[in-house]
Amino acid sequence: EFRRFSLERSKPGKFEEFYGLLQHVHKIPNVDVLVGYTDIHGDLLPINNDDNYHKAVSTANPLLRIFIQRKEDADYSAFGTDTMTRKKNVLSNVLRPDNHKKKPHIVISMPQDFRPVSSIIDVDILPETHRRVRLYKYGTDKPLGFYIRDGSSVRVTPHGLEKVPGIFISRLVPGGLAQSTGLLAVNDEVLEVNGIEVSGKSLDQVTDMMIANSRNLIITVRPANQRNNVVRNSRTSGSSGQSTESSLPSSTPNILANFLQGEEESDEEDIIIEDSGEPQQIPKAAPTSESLESLTQIELLHESTQNGFLPSSEMNLNHSAGSVSMEYEAQDPDHKSLEEDGTIITL
Protein backbone atom coordinates (compact mmCIF):
# COMPACT_ATOMS: atom_id res chain seq x y z
CA GLU A 1 0.00 0.00 0.00
CA PHE A 2 1.13 3.49 -0.75
CA ARG A 3 0.92 6.64 1.23
CA ARG A 4 1.91 10.06 0.16
CA PHE A 5 2.59 12.86 2.55
CA SER A 6 4.74 15.94 2.76
CA LEU A 7 7.68 16.91 4.92
CA GLU A 8 9.31 20.23 5.37
CA ARG A 9 12.68 19.86 3.74
CA SER A 10 14.40 22.44 5.88
CA LYS A 11 13.17 20.95 9.13
CA PRO A 12 13.03 17.24 8.70
CA GLY A 13 13.12 16.56 12.43
CA LYS A 14 14.52 13.46 13.94
CA PHE A 15 14.45 9.93 12.66
CA GLU A 16 12.45 8.81 15.66
CA GLU A 17 9.73 11.26 14.84
CA PHE A 18 9.76 10.24 11.21
CA TYR A 19 9.55 6.61 12.17
CA GLY A 20 6.60 7.37 14.39
CA LEU A 21 4.99 9.30 11.57
CA LEU A 22 5.39 6.31 9.23
CA GLN A 23 3.86 3.97 11.74
CA HIS A 24 1.09 6.45 12.22
CA VAL A 25 0.25 6.96 8.54
CA HIS A 26 0.36 3.21 7.96
CA LYS A 27 -1.56 2.57 11.14
CA ILE A 28 0.91 -0.03 12.28
CA PRO A 29 1.99 1.44 15.60
CA ASN A 30 3.43 -1.74 17.07
CA VAL A 31 5.02 -3.30 14.06
CA ASP A 32 8.79 -3.14 13.65
CA VAL A 33 9.67 -2.07 10.18
CA LEU A 34 12.72 -1.45 8.09
CA VAL A 35 12.78 1.85 6.28
CA GLY A 36 14.56 2.36 3.01
CA TYR A 37 14.67 4.88 0.20
CA THR A 38 15.95 5.01 -3.29
CA ASP A 39 18.72 7.48 -3.83
CA ILE A 40 19.50 9.30 -7.03
CA HIS A 41 21.38 6.31 -8.39
CA GLY A 42 18.41 4.12 -7.76
CA ASP A 43 20.07 2.28 -4.92
CA LEU A 44 17.91 1.14 -2.12
CA LEU A 45 19.47 2.55 1.01
CA PRO A 46 18.36 2.16 4.60
CA ILE A 47 17.04 4.89 6.82
CA ASN A 48 17.72 4.00 10.41
CA ASN A 49 19.26 7.05 12.02
CA ASP A 50 19.22 10.79 11.94
CA ASP A 51 22.11 11.05 9.60
CA ASN A 52 20.89 8.93 6.76
CA TYR A 53 17.39 10.25 7.27
CA HIS A 54 18.63 13.79 6.82
CA LYS A 55 20.64 12.69 3.84
CA ALA A 56 17.59 11.08 2.35
CA VAL A 57 15.48 14.15 2.85
CA SER A 58 18.12 16.43 1.43
CA THR A 59 18.48 14.33 -1.71
CA ALA A 60 14.75 14.15 -2.37
CA ASN A 61 14.22 15.37 -5.85
CA PRO A 62 11.55 16.48 -5.06
CA LEU A 63 9.93 13.21 -4.23
CA LEU A 64 11.47 10.88 -1.76
CA ARG A 65 10.48 7.33 -2.30
CA ILE A 66 10.35 5.43 0.92
CA PHE A 67 9.94 1.68 1.26
CA ILE A 68 8.98 0.04 4.45
CA GLN A 69 9.02 -3.62 5.21
CA ARG A 70 8.16 -5.65 8.22
CA LYS A 71 11.31 -6.51 9.98
CA GLU A 72 10.61 -10.23 10.22
CA ASP A 73 10.23 -10.75 6.48
CA ALA A 74 12.65 -8.14 5.34
CA ASP A 75 15.03 -8.96 2.54
CA TYR A 76 18.29 -7.66 3.80
CA SER A 77 20.12 -8.41 0.63
CA ALA A 78 18.11 -5.77 -1.09
CA PHE A 79 20.12 -3.07 0.58
CA GLY A 80 23.50 -1.94 -0.37
CA THR A 81 25.43 -0.01 -2.88
CA ASP A 82 25.65 -2.91 -5.23
CA THR A 83 21.98 -2.67 -5.78
CA MET A 84 22.59 -0.39 -8.70
CA THR A 85 23.70 -3.30 -10.80
CA ARG A 86 20.62 -5.17 -9.85
CA LYS A 87 18.51 -2.08 -10.16
CA LYS A 88 15.81 -3.68 -12.08
CA ASN A 89 15.30 -6.37 -9.59
CA VAL A 90 15.39 -4.22 -6.58
CA LEU A 91 11.92 -2.96 -6.68
CA SER A 92 10.44 -6.21 -7.70
CA ASN A 93 12.32 -7.93 -4.96
CA VAL A 94 11.05 -5.53 -2.44
CA LEU A 95 7.57 -5.31 -3.68
CA ARG A 96 7.04 -8.94 -4.37
CA PRO A 97 9.13 -10.80 -1.89
CA ASP A 98 7.35 -14.08 -2.70
CA ASN A 99 9.05 -14.00 -6.11
CA HIS A 100 12.28 -14.33 -4.34
CA LYS A 101 11.83 -17.81 -3.01
CA LYS A 102 15.35 -19.01 -2.82
CA LYS A 103 16.61 -21.26 -0.11
CA PRO A 104 16.18 -19.70 3.32
CA HIS A 105 19.12 -17.35 3.35
CA ILE A 106 21.31 -16.57 6.26
CA VAL A 107 20.10 -13.58 8.11
CA ILE A 108 22.80 -11.01 8.33
CA SER A 109 22.14 -8.18 10.64
CA MET A 110 21.55 -4.71 9.44
CA PRO A 111 24.42 -2.45 8.45
CA GLN A 112 23.83 -0.45 11.57
CA ASP A 113 24.98 -3.45 13.53
CA PHE A 114 28.19 -3.83 11.60
CA ARG A 115 31.45 -2.39 12.69
CA PRO A 116 34.71 -3.07 11.01
CA VAL A 117 36.86 -5.36 13.13
CA SER A 118 39.77 -5.80 10.81
CA SER A 119 41.09 -4.94 7.43
CA ILE A 120 44.09 -5.47 5.24
CA ILE A 121 45.51 -2.14 4.28
CA ASP A 122 48.21 -0.66 2.10
CA VAL A 123 48.23 -3.63 -0.19
CA ASP A 124 49.41 -1.37 -3.00
CA ILE A 125 52.57 -0.23 -1.28
CA LEU A 126 53.67 -3.25 0.64
CA PRO A 127 55.70 -6.10 -0.71
CA GLU A 128 53.64 -9.15 -1.52
CA THR A 129 55.22 -11.13 1.25
CA HIS A 130 54.00 -8.69 3.86
CA ARG A 131 50.56 -8.05 5.13
CA ARG A 132 49.42 -5.03 7.06
CA VAL A 133 46.47 -5.82 9.25
CA ARG A 134 44.39 -3.35 11.12
CA LEU A 135 42.46 -4.54 14.14
CA TYR A 136 39.71 -2.29 15.37
CA LYS A 137 39.48 -2.94 19.03
CA TYR A 138 37.49 0.14 19.80
CA GLY A 139 34.05 -0.66 20.99
CA THR A 140 34.50 -4.39 20.64
CA ASP A 141 34.13 -6.55 23.65
CA LYS A 142 36.21 -9.27 22.13
CA PRO A 143 39.72 -9.50 23.46
CA LEU A 144 42.49 -8.80 20.97
CA GLY A 145 43.57 -12.26 21.89
CA PHE A 146 47.09 -13.00 20.80
CA TYR A 147 50.52 -13.54 22.23
CA ILE A 148 53.94 -12.69 20.87
CA ARG A 149 57.34 -14.24 21.46
CA ASP A 150 60.99 -13.80 20.58
CA GLY A 151 62.37 -15.78 17.69
CA SER A 152 64.77 -15.48 14.85
CA SER A 153 64.32 -15.10 11.16
CA VAL A 154 66.63 -15.20 8.19
CA ARG A 155 67.22 -11.97 6.34
CA VAL A 156 69.09 -11.01 3.25
CA THR A 157 71.67 -8.47 4.30
CA PRO A 158 74.68 -6.98 2.56
CA HIS A 159 76.69 -9.71 4.27
CA GLY A 160 74.59 -12.50 2.90
CA LEU A 161 71.98 -14.46 4.73
CA GLU A 162 71.87 -13.66 8.40
CA LYS A 163 69.88 -14.90 11.27
CA VAL A 164 68.37 -11.95 13.05
CA PRO A 165 66.15 -11.80 16.09
CA GLY A 166 62.51 -11.14 15.41
CA ILE A 167 59.13 -11.01 17.09
CA PHE A 168 56.56 -13.66 16.24
CA ILE A 169 52.96 -14.37 17.03
CA SER A 170 53.07 -17.30 19.40
CA ARG A 171 49.44 -17.98 20.16
CA LEU A 172 45.95 -16.91 19.17
CA VAL A 173 43.26 -16.98 21.79
CA PRO A 174 40.22 -18.88 20.49
CA GLY A 175 37.39 -16.47 19.91
CA GLY A 176 39.65 -13.46 20.10
CA LEU A 177 39.68 -10.65 17.61
CA ALA A 178 42.99 -11.74 16.14
CA GLN A 179 41.80 -15.24 15.47
CA SER A 180 38.38 -14.27 14.20
CA THR A 181 39.86 -12.04 11.50
CA GLY A 182 41.74 -14.95 9.99
CA LEU A 183 44.42 -12.47 8.96
CA LEU A 184 46.96 -13.36 11.61
CA ALA A 185 48.40 -16.77 12.42
CA VAL A 186 50.82 -18.36 14.77
CA ASN A 187 54.45 -17.90 13.68
CA ASP A 188 53.73 -14.83 11.60
CA GLU A 189 56.64 -12.49 12.05
CA VAL A 190 55.72 -9.04 13.31
CA LEU A 191 57.60 -6.38 11.37
CA GLU A 192 55.92 -3.16 12.31
CA VAL A 193 53.49 -1.88 14.87
CA ASN A 194 51.51 1.17 13.75
CA GLY A 195 54.22 2.10 11.33
CA ILE A 196 57.12 1.66 13.72
CA GLU A 197 59.59 -1.04 12.90
CA VAL A 198 60.09 -3.53 15.66
CA SER A 199 63.57 -4.60 14.70
CA GLY A 200 65.97 -3.78 17.48
CA LYS A 201 63.19 -3.62 20.01
CA SER A 202 62.75 -6.07 22.84
CA LEU A 203 59.74 -8.29 23.32
CA ASP A 204 58.63 -6.12 26.19
CA GLN A 205 58.95 -2.97 24.15
CA VAL A 206 56.89 -4.43 21.33
CA THR A 207 54.33 -5.63 23.84
CA ASP A 208 54.05 -2.15 25.25
CA MET A 209 53.74 -0.64 21.81
CA MET A 210 50.97 -3.00 20.85
CA ILE A 211 49.08 -2.42 24.05
CA ALA A 212 49.51 1.33 23.73
CA ASN A 213 48.04 1.09 20.24
CA SER A 214 45.51 -1.54 21.14
CA ARG A 215 42.50 0.61 20.31
CA ASN A 216 43.59 0.77 16.75
CA LEU A 217 46.34 -1.69 16.20
CA ILE A 218 48.04 -1.91 12.83
CA ILE A 219 50.55 -4.65 12.58
CA THR A 220 52.60 -5.51 9.57
CA VAL A 221 53.45 -9.18 9.47
CA ARG A 222 55.25 -11.56 7.24
CA PRO A 223 52.79 -14.44 7.29
CA ALA A 224 54.31 -17.79 8.06
CA ASN A 225 52.09 -19.21 5.35
CA GLN A 226 52.98 -17.34 2.17
CA ARG A 227 50.65 -19.30 -0.10
CA ASN A 228 47.65 -17.06 0.37
CA ASN A 229 49.45 -14.00 -0.86
CA VAL A 230 47.74 -11.90 -3.42
CA VAL A 231 49.55 -11.99 -6.70
CA ARG A 232 49.75 -8.48 -7.94
CA ASN A 233 50.56 -6.78 -11.17
CA SER A 234 53.96 -5.64 -12.22
CA ARG A 235 53.88 -2.25 -10.65
CA THR A 236 53.51 -3.43 -7.16
CA SER A 237 55.53 -6.52 -7.54
CA GLY A 238 58.39 -4.20 -8.24
CA SER A 239 58.41 -3.31 -4.62
CA SER A 240 58.39 -6.91 -3.63
CA GLY A 241 61.92 -7.07 -4.87
CA GLN A 242 62.95 -6.06 -1.42
CA SER A 243 60.49 -8.34 0.17
CA THR A 244 62.95 -9.99 2.44
CA GLU A 245 63.83 -6.66 3.88
CA SER A 246 61.34 -5.48 6.38
CA SER A 247 62.30 -1.87 6.17
CA LEU A 248 60.95 0.46 3.60
CA PRO A 249 62.61 3.50 4.94
CA SER A 250 61.71 6.02 2.33
CA SER A 251 58.14 5.02 1.91
CA THR A 252 57.29 4.61 5.53
CA PRO A 253 56.11 8.16 6.16
CA ASN A 254 53.77 8.02 3.22
CA ILE A 255 52.39 4.75 4.27
CA LEU A 256 51.67 6.17 7.60
CA ALA A 257 50.04 9.18 6.18
CA ASN A 258 47.61 6.90 4.50
CA PHE A 259 46.36 5.17 7.48
CA LEU A 260 46.89 7.61 10.24
CA GLN A 261 44.29 10.01 8.94
CA GLY A 262 41.30 8.29 10.21
CA GLU A 263 43.04 6.57 12.97
CA GLU A 264 43.77 9.43 15.24
CA GLU A 265 40.21 10.50 15.36
CA SER A 266 38.87 7.28 16.63
CA ASP A 267 41.99 6.68 18.59
CA GLU A 268 41.50 8.22 21.91
CA GLU A 269 38.70 10.21 23.16
CA ASP A 270 39.48 11.02 26.72
CA ILE A 271 36.45 11.61 28.81
CA ILE A 272 35.84 14.47 31.13
CA ILE A 273 33.23 14.64 33.79
CA GLU A 274 32.76 18.21 34.86
CA ASP A 275 31.11 19.09 38.10
CA SER A 276 27.78 18.92 36.34
CA GLY A 277 26.42 16.58 33.83
CA GLU A 278 27.53 13.37 32.23
CA PRO A 279 30.77 11.99 30.96
CA GLN A 280 31.77 13.58 27.72
CA GLN A 281 34.56 13.28 25.34
CA ILE A 282 37.10 15.96 25.67
CA PRO A 283 37.04 18.54 22.90
CA LYS A 284 40.22 19.54 21.36
CA ALA A 285 41.33 23.04 21.97
CA ALA A 286 40.04 24.71 18.89
CA PRO A 287 42.34 27.41 17.65
CA THR A 288 45.79 26.14 18.36
CA SER A 289 45.07 22.50 18.44
CA GLU A 290 47.75 20.28 17.10
CA SER A 291 46.14 17.05 18.02
CA LEU A 292 43.98 15.25 15.58
CA GLU A 293 41.35 14.24 17.99
CA SER A 294 37.80 15.18 17.79
CA LEU A 295 36.22 15.33 21.08
CA THR A 296 32.97 16.28 22.53
CA GLN A 297 31.90 17.31 25.90
CA ILE A 298 29.02 16.76 28.17
CA GLU A 299 28.69 17.90 31.69
CA LEU A 300 27.29 16.16 34.63
CA LEU A 301 25.92 17.30 37.90
CA HIS A 302 27.72 16.06 40.89
CA GLU A 303 26.04 15.91 44.18
CA SER A 304 27.54 18.89 45.78
CA THR A 305 26.75 17.54 49.20
CA GLN A 306 28.85 14.46 48.72
CA ASN A 307 30.99 13.59 51.66
CA GLY A 308 28.75 15.75 53.75
CA PHE A 309 30.26 19.03 52.72
CA LEU A 310 28.29 22.09 51.99
CA PRO A 311 28.75 23.64 48.63
CA SER A 312 30.69 26.80 49.03
CA SER A 313 29.23 29.94 47.78
CA GLU A 314 32.34 30.79 45.83
CA MET A 315 32.01 27.70 43.82
CA ASN A 316 28.87 28.44 42.00
CA LEU A 317 28.65 25.92 39.34
CA ASN A 318 29.46 27.18 35.99
CA HIS A 319 27.57 25.05 33.61
CA SER A 320 28.83 25.43 30.20
CA ALA A 321 26.41 24.64 27.47
CA GLY A 322 25.70 20.99 27.27
CA SER A 323 25.63 20.94 23.57
CA VAL A 324 27.69 18.54 21.64
CA SER A 325 30.35 20.24 19.70
CA MET A 326 32.10 18.29 17.07
CA GLU A 327 34.88 20.18 15.53
CA TYR A 328 36.61 18.60 12.62
CA GLU A 329 39.32 20.60 11.11
CA ALA A 330 40.43 20.18 7.62
CA GLN A 331 43.78 18.59 8.03
CA ASP A 332 46.48 19.72 5.77
CA PRO A 333 48.68 16.95 4.52
CA ASP A 334 51.91 18.32 5.96
CA HIS A 335 50.35 18.17 9.28
CA LYS A 336 49.92 14.50 9.12
CA SER A 337 53.34 13.61 8.00
CA LEU A 338 54.49 15.65 10.90
CA GLU A 339 52.30 13.85 13.32
CA GLU A 340 53.55 10.43 12.51
CA ASP A 341 57.08 11.34 11.71
CA GLY A 342 58.35 11.74 15.18
CA THR A 343 57.28 11.93 18.68
CA ILE A 344 56.95 15.59 18.27
CA ILE A 345 54.28 18.02 17.49
CA THR A 346 55.79 21.34 16.65
CA LEU A 347 54.47 24.81 16.65
Partner 1 sequence: MRRFLRPGHDPVRERLKRDLFQFNKTVEHGFPHQPSALGYSPFLRLMAIGTRSGAIKLYGAPGVEFMGLHEENNTVMQIHFIPDQCQLVTLLDDNSLHLWSLKQHSGASELREEHRFTLKGPPGSPPSATQITAVLPHSSREVLYLGTESGNIFVVELPSFRVLEDRTITSEAVLQRVPEDYCNRRSCELVEALREHPKNPDQILIGYSRGLIVLWDLQNNKVTHHFLGSQQLENLYWQRDGSKFISCHYDGSYTQWPVSSDNRQPEPLENLVPYGPFPCKAISKIYWQTTKNGLPYIIFQGGMPRASYGDRHSISVVHGSQQTAFDFTSRVIDFFIIFSSEPTAEFDDPSAMVVLAEEELVVIDLKTAGWPAVHPPYLASLHCSAITCSHHVSNIPLKLWERIISAGSKQNIHYSNMPWPIDGGTNIAPDPPQRDLLLTGHEDGTVRFWDASGVCLHLLYKLSTVRVFLTDADPNDNMNTLGEDEWPPLRKVGTFDPYSDDPRLGIQKIYLCKYSGYLAVAGTAGQVLVMELNDEDAEHVVDHAEADLLQDQEGYRWKGHEKLKTRDGPVRFEAGFQPFVLVQCQPPAVVTSLALHSEWKLVAFGTSHGFGLFDHQQKRLVFVKCTLHPSDQLALEGPLSRVKSLKKSLRQSFRRIRRSRVSSRKRRGGSGNASEVQEANAKFDQDALQEMELAPVQRKIEARSAEDSFTGFVRTLYFADTFLRDSSRHCPSLWAGTNGGTVYAFCLRVPPAERRMDEPVRAEQAKEIQLMHRAPVVGILVLDGRSTPLPEPLEVAHDLSKSPDMQGSHQLLVVSEEQFKVFTLPKVSSKLKLKLTALEGCRVRKVTVANFGSCKTDDYSENDLAVLTNLGDIQIISLPFLKLQIRYPCIRKEDVSGIASCVFTKYGQGFYLISPSEFERFSLSTKWLVEPRCIVDIPEVTSNNHMHNKSGMENAARKS
Are residues 154 and 163 in contact, defined by beta-carbon separation less than 8 angstroms? yes
Among 119, 170, 239, 243, indicate the residue that binds partner 1 (CB under 8 A). 170
Are residues 188 and 168 in contact, defined by beta-carbon separation less than 8 angstroms? yes
* Interface with partner 1, residue 293, by CB under 8 A: yes
Rounded to the nearest whole angstrom, what is the least distance from the CB of residue 281 to partner 1 in the complex?
A: 9
Stretch that binds partner 1, among 36-44, 79-87, 116-124, 137-145 (CB under 8 A): 137-145
* Interface with partner 1, residue 61, by CB under 8 A: no
* Interface with partner 1, residue 307, by CB under 8 A: yes
Alpha carbon distances (Å) from 128 to 7, 151, 185, 242, 252: 53, 22, 17, 10, 16
HEC assignment per residue over 81-146? HHHHCCHHHHHHHHHCHHHHCCCCCCCCCCHHHCCCCEEEECCCCCCCCCEEEEEECCCCCCCCCE
* Interface with partner 1, residue 298, by CB under 8 A: no
How many residues lie near partner 1 (CB under 8 A)? Answer: 75
For residue 249, the SS3 value is coil
Among 42, 80, 97, 145, indicate the residue that binds partner 1 (CB under 8 A). 145
Among positions 183-222, residues that touch partner 1 (CB under 8 A) are 193-194, 196, 201-215, 217
Q: Report the alpha-carbon distance of residue 251 to residue 174 in Å, rounded.
A: 35
* Interface with partner 1, residue 253, by CB under 8 A: no
Which residue lies nearer to partner 1 by CB, 1 or 141? Answer: 141
Instruction: Tell me which DSSP letter residue 331 carries.
Output: P
Stretch that binds partner 1, among 15-23, 44-52, 103-111, 277-285 (CB under 8 A): 277-285
* Interface with partner 1, residue 326, by CB under 8 A: no
Rounded to the nearest whole angstrom, what is the least distance from the CB of residue 208 to partner 1 in the complex?
A: 5
Q: Report the alpha-carbon distance of residue 194 to residue 214 in Å, rounded.
A: 10
Residue 93 CB burial class (10 angstroms; 0-12, 13-18, ≥19) = middle
Stretch that binds partner 1, among 10-18, 39-47, 68-76, 317-325 (CB under 8 A): 317-325
Rounded to the nearest whole angstrom, what is the least distance from the CB of residue 252 to partner 1 in the complex?
A: 13
Q: What backbone torsions phi and psi does residue 255 show, to the nearest 5 degrees?
A: -55, -45
* Interface with partner 1, residue 275, by CB under 8 A: yes
Among 49, 152, 225, 291, indicate the residue that binds partner 1 (CB under 8 A). 291
Among 16, 150, 162, 329, indicate the residue that binds partner 1 (CB under 8 A). 150
Q: Which among 333, 292, 151, 189 is positioned nearest to 197, based on CA atoms?
A: 189
